[in-house]
């Protein structure tokens, strides 16, 4: 069974949330019909010349959920599991996030079906630029603003920004967020997700009466969010006893050597493949702990890791 | 069973045609991957205020198959059976049509899921304008040029053109074809499809050695194409013995009174409902005749009419 | 006698002010010639479909007095008495207001001849959108920025902003001020006029040595300015003994129950029609009081109310 | 009595024509309300630096009557008698002219209150460029297309075209008609008005059975239309016995020496001031003749020439 | 001695031609000052990623001589000898060519210092696209229109057109001439230069009384112009006894086998390197003949070929 | 010997600095090739109508060194010695300045070969506007931002800003810096250069242990930088014993009367011509002093003043 049904569930489950919320707020069918799908969903085909001289055609998406209060905003994901329903669902969640924080933005989301781990630096550049060319007409600082997401980083944002600015024939740093500091990126942006989770964990522990120094933390996922969170927790004195990545999980009752793991982690967030003594993701999720943080991508959170 | 599977077949069967043709021409997988899907497919949600004060949200599509040799071009269909795969498939066929006629255009196609027969004049106007607003960023005289299609006519083109020109703040007649003559429409456009079929029938009969005056003609569908064709055949001296519409079919061995039928036909092409003595579509298709013209919409061509 | 002569007086009297001021500042005829008329005055005709199916054609104006130091800026008035000279004169006053406050804006003003009290919600929406379409080419965040004025409010600004953003194909909140907070409006904007007057009254009373608590206040007009001012004066302890609206005036020697009046006031600022025991506007203006505030529209300030 | 009442009459009389025509065609009040005024009328103030170093502020107009079937189109007049109502009325007449000739244009018209006879070459250039800058936002090849009119010629069109192209940053010859041939002007444009009148006179004489060679022709006005017409009539063998200009009229029973007069005519069409033996315009209009051509500007046609 | 002084001579000698011509036409110093240099000359630096992974920075130029009568127009040359003065001079010659043919264009010219013979297909594509990006702001169908020139062909035009259309986000075939027929190129364009020379040679021979069949033709240069001319002359029956390319020259008293040479010619126009028995360019120029055609690039015409 | 070789030296010496710096930072030839020349250099010809009716054609430049981190930015110089290499070199220095201050701008620079001291106010206005028209396509708030430089001031910036805003049809104050305060200029901008030098001198004296009150200051150049610096030093208690301008130098062992000199200084910074008792620039540079400030333009710093 492939991931499609799961993805459908992501959209359907999101629509159910929307419907329930709107019903509670007293809105009728009209509003539900309007908000349960993006107002605009663009699917594009991106031909990319590969290093071996062949051309490969990638499929990309950009969803704009609702722009009633301002431009739409949301990340672009590069991943083999990207699909239309997931992109749609995530754009809806972005509307909710912006609304909760009272930001003058609607929700947007993008994605390209590809496996960045199997692409060269230049292939990634050409794909990033091609994606921007394909969607350029419907995005912009006052229309729809991309950002990094799963497996896209500040380098990719820099390529996308450069392509957009070249098309527009002027410097347009407001087109994208998550770009490098030197190109106008925001300080603290890279660690913001992890920082937010860390603050909430600290507040939760305080409420529960668990001293931070005694807390055992397990983190599923060692990407941008998970790895910085591990560092923040570790630096704050907590004991990070388990982490996982796409290949497996690591466990140490006394606390893992987070700085060492961060140092050895590759650019896609993989580190467990360097170790022989790994546990499975299922085992990780069953570890006894005080704090368990799900920091992997949506579909991964429910998937099981095959025992190798 | 709903229409979705059929529609899928339309796209899949089109892709198979593309693949076979490209293979024969010696192209490889890259070209097939590029040409079997539109490079750009936009799905939009269009809120329309109905005459009763409620708001209804319609789903619209615009597919742009390939723009390598020029802007894309193709009609916009308003029909309850419109769906994503059908729109995609038809955009591919438009590329083929343009290519065969050596026109500097690629294929495009659009559609809105709605039933114009159940909408008022003003509701249709608001839907037409809303559709243009939703897709305006990716269309235009040098990008992608809409046109009439099933259940859209020159009045709808006029609304779409007006909306587009207002957004652009200048007169832009090149945005759309099939508009009224007074707004820059082309003479002969309305009868062009039927005229082309008539020319081909006359050539075919000549080849077969059948005198036009003796030919018995059966036409499935009495919309823009079918009704004008009936008139052309009738005027040329042929005997139109059978025609059909969405409600049933009429048959007269001695030839139908085409001018009378054209006179009684409503604006959506229905006329058989005025008669008690109808036959089914299946029976129509089995009539003995010299010329049988399929002039109904794609999915209808395979559907059976329930006997009333 | 119709209102035209009065309106002429408004423009003529404004021009005399400009001329006198420039003469005192040592400027010659050239500068007077330049500043006594708007550099740009646009008159438009706006066809609006009414709820009964008919079309009514409204006349609208937009005056831009002078854009030497920045974009022009000023409100849009919906009122039956709107006329060309009034709009011109008010645009000149906006230049003076901006100049006095040292803001980088020139003066602008707009208006539509209509009676919002006799139009439905949807008719007002269509008129508001039609007005923006008609003037869109000469307005914008860096050209000329509309705002609410007599009988236009944040709902009308929201429609105008939406229409403008749709035409531009991007979110453009800077196009208009006085919009709802959720669309980017400014906090405190709605009460700003009244707040400013209240501050000045307090300062004037202090100078005159009259305790605020003993001050008797009469306010002519109970619209956005007058009603909030009544509330501010009342809340501060002053005695608001008289107020008026388009239908008549109310008087209570011991102070009116302002909160009650605010509660009963309709959306166009009328409240006196709910009372039998009214006085005329002339009588209001002759009441013995410490503070008399003219807060009605220009032509109203000089007009007499017919005794019913 | 100044010219304003006359001008009012021009607009009022035009509106009566419109109303009568629409009533005959069966249209109701809505259509009359829409068509009796331009949809857009822009009044601008144009500061021009004069050769003596002072600045003079001119008033200019641009009326766009109706753009339903295409861009508006019409001349720009430089004349001391230009006024708002005249410009409006002439824009309505341009709609009629375009409609009668079935051209895809609506009517437009412009004018500047000035006396080109009292301005230097460079002052005229600066005024022409200033006028284009003032109205640039609402004109253009697909919006509203100016042309020469009373006292504006191909040189002025060249300045206006250059200014427009510089603002747009590209060559835009479609912005204006009546420009010099070398800049894309049309061959035959300069003599087109006279040519059309000449054709009609020839047809009329044929109908009346009057041989062209025996026809006595009187022409009121010796501007672009009148002078070329005189030449065409003269060349065709007719006897032009009387002509007039702003200063008076000339009469010769045997036919005037048209080539000589054309040679001596100044750039504003005046020639009679070179002769002592003139007659008045009234006398001209009472000359016995076969063809009498009114070829002066509208208000002049009814005005009397003071006897000197 | 390097090519710079020669190039200077090209500009200086062109300026002398301009000055002499203008003096003869009665123009003064102002006009000479204006016309002896391009009004706009843009020098750009184009970083190109080479196939070996390194980046090379190329220098490109675009000169616009004068745009008074329309957009500028002229080819883009890829050659190691391209330099600023040559580009300037050639843009002036383009103005003269357009003027002589009474075309509504001014002269333009571009060039990139590079050696296409040493670059791969993909490197040439990247350079072509990079050049368009670098100059995109000042070119376009109504600004300045590039074309093929020395060592640039329809493939390079196709890349440039694609890049320009992508930046503009719409199909813009009018941006460039010399593109492939399928993208909107003109039939006959490729052979136009040779065709024009052939026509002139035939006329000259007729005038001189030399039968074409007896004419001995020598052609210096075997590029686009020279090779097609050789074919046209040969096909018409003339005897092409000598041709040359960058490497040397071929001579056959009885006429060369032109079809064979055309067949063996490489894509940069070289063929003599396939033969051992060559003569020098000086010898070629001294051959006894009836027609001598200089069809090499400007600086080559004066250069001598070193004897190998 | 003319200024060209010197100017070459300015560019060459700048390129050497760039190369040395990049080598120290470990960059290779590619980066040096990219950074030692501006990516874009535009040369324009500007026809200006002079007060005497003739037309003079000026040559202007705009260099954009590198826009990788944001728009380019830099002054526009009006001076007879302006030349291509100087403008290029100064644009490179602007990149360095922006980089050192960590500003999100690249370096730009412009210049026009002219002598503002010999031009009237109106001629300067026409030149300033003509320069903006000529370069408008490649500049703008998000592309390349001009500023005042040698012999250009806030009045010239105001003209340039007005021209740019008129072309763009909206107020665009971000286009240029150094404009008058009333048009959006920055407070303190005019004295910023001198203020910065003053701060550095004070710090240097403190380090050296020289009391400011005892410091003898010599300033070469009395333009915007030099004159304000003289005032700041003088006001702070230092003794300004020598200053120079284009005509010569003044010396007073006891300190010059700076306020008097500032009062007599003309608008181009000349004052020494009012005195008989001057010294040469060489003598100035050899004066015994504690602080010697070179505040003249680049080429002047090395040039000798002829003894009169």
Does residue F16 sit in the same domain as residue F159?
Answer: yes
In tens, the pLDDT along A165-213 reads: 999 999 999 999 999 999 999 999 889 989 999 999 999 999 999 999 9
Distance (Å, whole) CA A304 – CA E92 = 72
Q: Give the pLDDT of residue E299.
A: 52
B128/B196 same-domain check? no
Which of these three, B183, B212, B227, is where a domain ends?
B183
Contact between A89 and A104 under an 8 Å Cβ cutoff? The reply is no
Given the residues A73, A88, A109, A179, select the one marked as catalytic.
Answer: A109
- 8-state DSSP, A110: E
The helix or strand, by DSSP H or E, that contains position C294, with its residue range, turns out to be strand C291-294
Sign, CA torsion B215/B219/B225/B228: positive
Convert the pLDDT of each residue in B245-269 to its tens digit. Answer: 988 999 999 999 999 999 998 877 7
Residue in E88, E109, E179, E239 annotated catalytic = E109
* DSSP assignment of E47-58: EEE-TTS-EEEE
Q: With an 8 Å Cβ cutoff, are A104 and C173 in contact?
A: yes
Give E37's contacts in chain F (Cβ within 8 Å): 45, 59
Q: Average pLDDT in the C91-100 region?
A: 96
Ranges of chain E with pLDDT below 50: 1-5, 7, 302-308
Provide the pLDDT for residue C302. 45
Residues D212-216: what's their mean pLDDT? Answer: 93
Q: Which residue of A has its CA nearest to E52?
A: A51
- Among partner residues B49, B122, B167, which is closest to C167 by beta-carbon distance? B167
pLDDT value, residue F274: 87
Residues of chain D neighbouring C52 (CB-CB closer than 8 A):
none
Asked if D11 and D18 touch (Cβ cutoff 8 Å), the reply is: no
Report pLDDT for B300.
Answer: 54
Contact E127, E57 (CB under 8 A): no
CA B121 to chain centre: 20
Residues of F with CB under 8 A from a CB of C: 169-173, 182-184
User: To the nearest 10°, the Cα dihedral for A48, A51, A52, A55?
Assistant: 0
The tokens for E81 are 């000898």
Per-residue tokens: F72: 């380019």
Question: Within this chain, do residues C251 and C139 fall inside the same structural domain, yes or no?
Answer: no
Interchain CB distance below 8 Å, A138 and B134:
no
Give percent above pLDDT 90 in chain D. Answer: 83
Task: Tell me which residue of D289, D284, D273, D276 sits closest to D210, measured CA to CA.
Answer: D289
Q: Is position F161 within any domain?
A: yes
Beta carbons of F170 and C143 less than 8 Å apart: yes
Last residue within a domain, chosen from E148, E183, E218: E183
Q: Nearest CA of chain E to the CA of A150: how many Å?
A: 28
Which tens digits make up the pLDDT trace of C208-230?
A: 999 999 999 999 999 889 999 99
Q: Which two tokens stand for residue F112?
A: 């026009």
| Subunits adjacent to chain A (3 or more Cβ pairs under 8 Å) | B, C, E, F
Looking at beta carbons, which residues of chain C come within 8 Å of F183?
A: 69, 104
**Which chain F residues have a beta carbon less than 8 Å from that of D169?**
136-137, 167
Q: Which pLDDT band holds residue D8 (cuts at 50, 70, 90)?
A: low
Q: Categorise residue B23: left if φ over 0, alpha if ψ from -120 to 50, beta otherwise.
A: alpha
CA angle D175, D177, D183 (to 5 degrees): 80
Contact F48, F130 (CB under 8 A): yes
Q: What would the mean pLDDT of B62-82 be, rounded to a whole number?
A: 96
Q: Nearest C-alpha of chain A: how many angstroms from B148?
A: 23
Active-site residue, selected from the candidate residues D109, D179, D231, D239: D109
pLDDT of residue A296: 86
In a shared domain, residues D201 and D264? yes
**CB–CB contact A40 B39 (8 Å):** no
Which of C138, C107, C115, C118 minimizes the C-alpha distance to C43? C138
| Range B116-148 burial, b when 16+ CB lie within 10 A, else e | beebeeebbbbbbbbbbbbbbbbbbbbbbbbbb
CB within 8 Å: D170 and E69: no
Contact D142/B172, CB-based, under 8 Å? yes
Residues 6+ apart with CB under 8 A from D194: D224, D225, D226, D227, D228, D229, D231, D232
Q: Are B232 and B290 part of one and the same domain?
A: yes
For helices F192-208 and F224-235, give the axis angle rounded to 10 degrees. 50
Give E175's contacts in chain B (Cβ within 8 Å): none
pLDDT of residue A3: 39
Residue F307 lies in a domain: no
Top residue of A15, A87, A137 to mutate, by most chain B CBs within 10 Å, is A137
Final residue in a domain of this structure, among E163, E183, E203: E183
Q: What is the pLDDT of residue C305?
A: 38
Please tell me whether residues B233 and B170 are part of one structural domain. no
CB contacts < 8 Å between B and D, how many?
18
CATH code, domain with D235 = 3.40.50.720
Range of the domain at A210: 192-302
- Whether F contacts A, i.e. 3 or more CB pairs less than 8 A apart, is yes
pLDDT of amino acid E77 = 96
CA–centroid distance for B83 within its chain: 14
Does residue F247 belong to any structural domain of this protein?
Answer: yes
Three-state SS string over chain F comes to CCCHHHHHHHHHHHHHHHHHHHHHCCCCHHHHHHHCCCCEEEEEEEEEECCCCCEEEEEEEEEECCCCCCCEECCEEEECCCCHHHHHHHHHHHHHHHHHCCCCCEEEEEEEECCHHHCCHHHHHHHHHHHHHHHHHHCECCCEECCECCCCCHHHHHHHHHHHHHHHCCCCHHHCCCCCHHHCCCCCCCCHHHHHHHHHHHHHHHHHCCCHHHCEEEEECCCHHHHHHHHHHHHCCCEEEEEEECCEEEECCCCCCHHHHHHHCCCCCCCHHHCCCCECHHHHHCCCCCEEEECCCHHHHHCCCCCC
The pLDDT of residue A298: 57
| Span B41-70, average pLDDT | 96
CA distances to A8, A73, A77, A111, A115 from A149, in Å: 20, 12, 5, 9, 14
| Domain co-membership, A63 together with A163 | yes
Closest by alpha carbon to B39, among B149, B152, B146, B143?
A: B143
Q: Which residue has the higher pLDDT, E57 or C10?
A: E57
Q: How far apart are CA D266 and CA D45, in angstroms?
A: 30
Chain A residues in contact with F142 (beta carbon < 8 A): 170-172
With 60 as the cut, is the pLDDT of residue D199 above it?
yes
Give D305's pLDDT tier (boundaries 50, 70, 90): very low
The pLDDT score that the predictor gives to residue B276 is 85
Picking from D254, D247, D238, D235, the residue whose alpha carbon sits closest to that of residue D293 is D238
Which residue in E69, E71, E142 is closest to D183 by CB distance?
E69
A23-58: burial string, b at 16+ Cβ within 10 Å, e else: eeeeeeebbbbbbbbbbbbbbbbbbbbeeeeeebbb
pLDDT at A231: 95
Query: Looking at beta carbons, which residues of chain D come within 8 Å of C44?
Result: 39-41
Average pLDDT over residues B220-236: 93
Task: Decide if F17 contacts F10 (C-beta within 8 A).
Answer: no
Give the ipTM of the model, two decimals please: 0.86
The segments of chain F whose pLDDT lies below 70 read 1-8, 298-308
Distance CA A288, CA A217 (A): 9
Which of B39, B107, B143, B175 to mutate to probe the E interface, most E CBs <10 Å? B143
What angle do helix axes A154-168 and E154-168 make, rounded to 10 degrees?
100
Question: How close, in Å, is residue E293 to chain B by CA atoms?
Answer: 38
Smallest CA–CA distance, residue C173 to chain A, in Å, is 8
- Looking at the fold, whether D43 and D140 belong to one and the same domain comes out as yes
Same domain, A147 and A206: no
Q: Could you tell me how many residues make up chain B?
A: 308
So what's the pLDDT on residue D308? 37
Instruction: State yes or no: pLDDT of C5 exceeds 80.
Output: no
Residues of A near C (Cβ–Cβ under 8 Å) read: 67, 69-71, 104, 140, 142-143
pLDDT band at B217 (very low <50, low <70, confident <90, very high): very high
Same domain, F10 and F95: yes
Task: Write the pLDDT tens digit of every residue in B88-141.
Answer: 999 999 999 999 999 999 999 999 999 999 999 999 999 999 999 999 999 999
Asked if residue F35 is part of any domain, the answer here is no
- Do the two chains C and F touch, given a threshold of 8 Å on CB pairs and at least 3 pairs? yes
Sheet holding D239-245, edge to edge: D248-251, D239-245, D216-220, D291-294
Judge whether F235 lies within some domain. Answer: yes
Write the CATH number for A96. 3.40.50.10860
Q: Is B109 a catalytic residue?
A: yes
- Within-domain flag for D152: yes
**Do A92 and A142 belong together in one domain?**
yes
**Which two structure tokens, joined as six digits, stand for A1?**
């069974």
**Count of domains for chain D:** 2
D22 within domain boundaries: no
Task: Check whether residue B87 and residue B212 sit in a common domain.
Answer: no
Supply the pLDDT for residue C1.
35
For residue E54, give the nearest of F30, F41, F55 by CB distance: F30
In a domain, C248, yes or no: yes
Pairwise CB contact (< 8 Å): D170 & E140: yes
Q: What is the mean pLDDT of chain B?
A: 91
Task: Show the low-confidence residues of chain A (pLDDT under 70).
Answer: 1-8, 298-308
Give the three-class secondary structure for D299: helix
Rounded to an integer, the average pLDDT of D19-27 is 95
Please judge whether D34 and C47 are an interchain contact, meaning their C-beta atoms are less than 8 angstroms apart: yes
């Amino acid at each position: 069974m492939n991931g499609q049904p799961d993805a459908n569930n992501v959209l359907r489950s999101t629509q159910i949330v929307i419907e329930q919320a709107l019903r509670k707020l007293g809105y009728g069918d009209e509003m539900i019909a309007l908000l349960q799908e993006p107002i605009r969903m663009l699917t594009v085909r991106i031909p990319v010349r590969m290093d071996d001289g062949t051309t490969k055609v990638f499929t990309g998406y950009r969803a704009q959920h609702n722009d009633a209060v301002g431009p739409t905003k949301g990340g672009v994901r590069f991943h083999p599991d990207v699909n239309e329903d997931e992109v749609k669902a995530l754009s809806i969640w972005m509307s909710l996030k912006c609304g909760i924080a009272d930001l003058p933005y609607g929700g947007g989301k993008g994605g390209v079906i590809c496996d960045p781990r199997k692409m060269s630096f230049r292939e990634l550049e050409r794909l990033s630029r091609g994606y921007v060319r394909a969607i350029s007409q419907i995005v912009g600082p006052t229309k729809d603003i991309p950002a990094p997401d799963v497996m896209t980083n500040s380098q990719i944002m820099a390529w996308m920004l450069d392509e957009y600015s070249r098309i527009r024939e002027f410097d347009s740093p407001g087109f994208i967020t998550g770009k490098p500091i030197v190109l106008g990126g925001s300080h603290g942006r890279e660690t913001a997700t992890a920082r937010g989770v860390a603050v909430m964990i600290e507040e939760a522990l305080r409420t529960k009466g668990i001293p931070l120094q005694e807390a055992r933390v397990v983190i599923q996922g060692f990407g941008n969010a998970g790895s910085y969170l591990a560092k923040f927790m570790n630096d704050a004195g907590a004991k990070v006893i388990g982490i996982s990545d796409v290949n497996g999980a690591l466990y140490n009752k006394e606390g893992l050597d987070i700085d060492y793991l961060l140092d050895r982690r590759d650019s896609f967030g993989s580190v467990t493949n360097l170790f022989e003594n790994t546990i499975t993701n299922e085992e990780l999720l069953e570890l006894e702990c005080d704090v368990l943080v799900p920091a992997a991508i949506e579909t991964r959170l429910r998937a099981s890791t095959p025992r190798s």
